Structure 1
């Protein structure tokens, strides 16, 4: 039977960012250095395929330091942790390695600097997300006010409206954050923002590629995990940018083919914690069903690389 024609637009950049690549490398190097098991507090990155692969190599994923023995190394995830976590590990004389993305660490440093100058912090982020928990946990309780939406800005009650600063979660939608920042500045004209946008380069680049690709597509698929903030934002960005149907899929087996019936074009991208092998799997699934032409939509070239911590570069 003749396969129907399909133009497949492939976004670039897509998939792994430098922070995710570094975090995975940290777990692999820790296993090489100290052997299994190595404990990891929270999923190292939000992707089941990646986590399962590391688990098969000897990584043990836990949600609390209390689940870790004193005599085995523990790694903190790329999303960052509250200050109390490494302090507790140090008090137990544990070997620990911090895999927090350097761009998240930059936000932590920024929050601490503002607090040292006597400013109360406003954090733009998602309640309960590990990055938000980690950033808010850099300062004492009550020193960080969380806002998730423009509507939240109207309800917060800071200690001193003249002594405020704000930071943002690194994986948010650029457009949504702009609106919240504008609302903060309108209500609190003295509020101090970051010198440079907190939203990371990889989040911005992936969203820009989707904005360029979405108007060309009858449908768009984002390869990523449902608990991945940056992947969910890509779905939202695609819809807002003019693609009538945007779907988040973890793997090719999750594709809802009935919803794609009759399409002539599809866009494919992936969140920052999705490996290229899963993107290839999705492309192959379309190739099995359609007479496919692939076109690339490239909006940026990434060449960022982050070093792993020194403890992993030193001999055992």
Structure 2
């Protein structure tokens, strides 16, 4: 059974005006945490179309419009069709707005040139991929493997081959005479790029300190070390430094909002409280945070999700 209907897609895109440029990231994070992996390609395909329009705060006229409902329905069908096509090895076609809809859609278009449309869609694909990758720290590796695989299957071929990636901390040198063989190839001291590692650690430290301020940064660090020194090493070196602080694709604010989405569903009040304040520190407004929480709770309601102490127990700002 598909959770996302055309009406629900339009609701996510237009019922939360404070999230008009980030709704699809919040929705992706929520679906990943809920393990509704098959729904994520639907979000991708609708965002690839919907984000090409100027936003309208006149929600009722948009969500009830027959052509917009058809466009959302088309997105559900095209995502399912592309996933099936991908399994056969054929190229995935572009996701565009049907010509028959152009003059009937009650919204203004943002772009007139094809290259601008492709650039915007590439940006959307990169952001959704980055959200899922970053959430390996929250949702777990199996969900992220499945999520990225599903996104790849639904992504138009011309957009799937231009994803941005981090600079490698380790550069494998083929036939390295001093190398010790690993699953990736021979590795030696000359394979390690210390400049990249240093840059990542500085960036990770800055991101940690932007979320946790006024001594809380040191307090939580000590709590982790007290629980396990290896825990702190892993969180700092691999989660914050390598993953979360990378801001070429997602801003710190967007990263904070998707982390909040996962923590709401996980029902972990201490961590959620910390990241609610961290989102403010990273530039999110109270309205954006409140809308994020409301959207996540609505998606959870659709899925019948429950909390230990009822939904009213979810932490607030």
TM-score, with structure 1 as normaliser? 0.28
**Higher strand residue share:** 1
Between 1 and 2, higher relative CO (CA 8 Å, sep ≥ 6) is seen in 1
**Higher helix residue share:** 2
